[in-house]
Amino acid sequence: MFEIQDPNSIQLNSEGQLKHFITTEGLSKALLTEIIETADSFADMSAQQVKKVPLLRGKTVVNLFFESSTRTLSTFELAAKRLSADVLNLNISTSSTSKGETLKDTLQTLEAMHSDMFVVRHSDSGAAHFIAEHVTPNVAVINAGDGRHAHPTQAMLDMLTIKRHKGDFSPLIVAIVGDILHSRVARSQIHALRTLGAAEIRVIAPTTLLPKNIEALGVKVFTNMQAGLKDADVVIMLRLQKERMQSALLPSESEFYKLFGLTNEKLQHAKPDAVVMHPGPINRGVEIESAVADGPKSLILDQVTNGIAVRMAVMSMSMSGQMTEKNLKSEAQ
């Protein structure tokens, strides 16, 4: 566990632009909107014959994953390549870190290779913040998920997905369902939704999977699925984080599915035009039934597509913010 200080003291440059992307917490509505709008401009690129733009040509992006995630790694790699960057995927299990090399030593080695951006995924909360604090100037750090703390690019691809299907956030009731306690995605979603002005944010879970004082984040708490889904515009299901559960927090997966799994029957309590989302990977028959996951209200595959666009946006904006900061310091000297 790393100590987490004020992230905006390092993730924004002196002009208020993004130079690292560590968390959605504390970022302005204008900046989150800029990420969405920039990503939206990239979103249809996959349908074009030429899928590349030269925004990061000549730059080197290192995907530094201390925790495995095939989907997140592959979308970051594809996003970097579509921005014309050179990409290095560091296999941590066979790297020097598994032989006792410290995190700082690993960073210094990668910096000596003239890397320009680190995309970091780590099982400890605050790891990306720590790296951003200790990295050399002009190297951008993107948080691809750290412990239970944050997963900002997942949250922003969810915001882009909601925006493209629902438009204005202000009238929306958004229900987040499942393992809130262990979910870094849920925390990042809540911060983003609140900043973007969603009318109501709900969390729905058994009491054993709710963090203490979760209401302080500005959400309404429900332990009954039907009540929590009533009139919801957006339903976001979460994966059960069984690998992070320290004790038996659930009687059984079948019991969880009975009470909190999303079925077409339970979905009837939401608005008729409600949409369904899930950050993946999906546990069918545990969090959601296949008829819903594959049904007409599901935006799950849209989320995957939008993930590439959002990661392109964040990477290009962070690199631009780093360059602006460098120019301002040069002018000051």
Q: Is 71 among the annotated ligand-binding positions? A: yes
Q: Which CATH architecture has domain 8-151+305-332?
A: 3-Layer(aba) Sandwich (3.40)
Instruction: Give the DSSP H or E segment for 203.
Output: strand 200-204
- pLDDT of 22 reads 96
CATH fold group of domain 152-298: Rossmann fold (3.40.50)
Q: Rg of the Cα trace of the chain?
A: 20
Q: Where are the domains of the chain?
A: 8-151+305-332, 152-298
pLDDT at 100 over 70: no
Q: Is 184 among the annotated ligand-binding positions? A: yes
Q: Is 279 among the annotated ligand-binding positions? A: no
pLDDT at 1 over 80: no
Q: State yes or no: cis peptide before 211, omega within 30 of 0.
A: no
Whole-angstrom CA distances from 61 to 82, 118, 163, 315 are 12, 6, 28, 9
Residue with tokens 């000297």: 333
- pLDDT of 5 reads 65
Average of pLDDT values for 132-145? 92
CATH topology match: 8-151+305-332 vs 152-298: yes
Q: Is 151 among the annotated ligand-binding positions? A: yes
* pTM reported for the whole predicted model: 0.92
pLDDT in tens, 262-284: 999 999 999 999 999 999 889 99
Q: Encoding tokens for residue 202?
A: 């709900």
- pLDDT of 246 reads 45
Helices and strands counted in the chain (H then E): 12, 9
pLDDT in tens, 174-184: 999 999 998 99
Share of the chain above pLDDT 70, in %: 91
Average of pLDDT values for 168-193? 96
Higher-confidence residue: 201 or 250? 201
pLDDT in tens, 52-61: 999 999 999 9
Q: Is 322 among the annotated ligand-binding positions? A: no
Q: Is 246 among the annotated ligand-binding positions? A: no
Q: Is 154 among the annotated ligand-binding positions? A: yes
pLDDT at 323 over 90: no
- pLDDT of 301 reads 94
